Copies of this chain bind each other. A is one copy, B any other.
Amino acid sequence: MDEQQLIRHALAARERAYAPYSAFRVGSALLDGQGGIHYGCNVENAAYSPTNCAERTALFRAIADGHQPGTFAAIAIAGDTEGPISPCGVCRQVLLELCAPDMPVIMANLKGDIARMTVSGLLPGAFGPNDLLEK
């Protein structure tokens, strides 16, 4: 699957966002190692902190379907931002936990702007599983 297709999937998922508080809708599409697509959107909450972002929705559901951490190929994210939308710190930490460090993260907006980073590039010098488990 090429990058443009994955972005189109993220844009389709964005239509299903539940964002009554911010009206800020985000979609994501996670590509697994077998070519399957896992959709995510943001799901807000009146209490704010229980809100979940599009990227995490896609990652959590893929794990629940039996995919193993570290086996994903790419994720695309799409939102209505001035430049390409960027994942929040919570999502970066979940990407770090569940994806290979060099997995591409493809960021897009509604105007066709695109940016690309890797999972490890999003969290320089990250706190990760080894920090917790080595003790």
A residues near B (Cβ < 8 Å) are: 13, 16, 18, 20-24, 39-41, 43-54, 56-61, 63-66, 69, 80-82, 85-94, 96-98, 107, 115, 117, 121-135
Contact = CB atoms under 8 A, between A and B. Distances in A.
Contacts of A98: 18, 43
A45 B130 CA distance: 11
B131 A64 contact: no
Contact of A24 (B57, B69, B135): B135
A64 B41 contact: yes
B63 A61 contact: no
A39 B53 contact: no
* Most B C-beta atoms less than 10 A away, residue of A39, A66, A97: A97
B24 A86 contact: no
Contacts of A41: 63-64
A48 B64 contact: no
Given A16-B63, A18-B98, A117-B124, 16 more contacts: A18-B69, A21-B21, A44-B48, A45-B93, A46-B97, A47-B127, A49-B49, A50-B56, A50-B88, A50-B97, A81-B134, A82-B131, A90-B90, A90-B93, A107-B125, A122-B123
Given A52-B52, A61-B57, A69-B18, A128 B80 contact: no
